[in-house]
Amino acid sequence: MIKLNALDVDGTLVDANNVVSPANERAVKKAISRGMKVVLATGRHRGGAKKVMEVLGLCPETLLIANNGALIYSGNQLLWKDFLTPDDVDGVIRGDVIYK
């Protein structure tokens, strides 16, 4: 039995017009009603994912992986923060540091 589903937002849950399709909304709500945990993963910031969470009926404590994985939230609680340092950024620009 699948217990957790991590879902991408842009191009997966929402279309180019930032709309959650009725089929996606039904599928996510059905999964939640069957006890599945849903996590959203997105390049967006937390505020940019708020509407999607509301449409899908996700509780405020739903885990949200935001900012391309740099921030992880559970509701208003920040669980993880991992930003590049200025030295890391300089290394990427110079080509000395490669992130995969």
Q: What residues does 43 pair with on adjacent strands?
A: none
Candidates 8, 15, 88, 96; catalytic one: 8
* Mean pLDDT score, 21-40: 96
Tokens linked to 70: 């740099």
DSSP-assigned states of every residue in 51-96 = HHHHHTT--TTSEEEEGGGTEEEETTEEEEE-PPPHHHHHHHHHTS
17 falls within a domain: yes
CA distance 70 to 68: 6
Total of domains in the chain? 1
Can 8 be counted among the known catalytic residues? yes
Tokens linked to 31: 């999964």
47 falls within a domain: yes
42-66 pLDDT, tens digit each: 999 999 999 999 999 999 899 999 9
Q: Which domain holds residue 30?
A: 4-94
99 falls within a domain: no
At 100 the pLDDT is 55
**Any idea what the CATH number is for the domain that residue 12 is in?**
3.40.50.1000
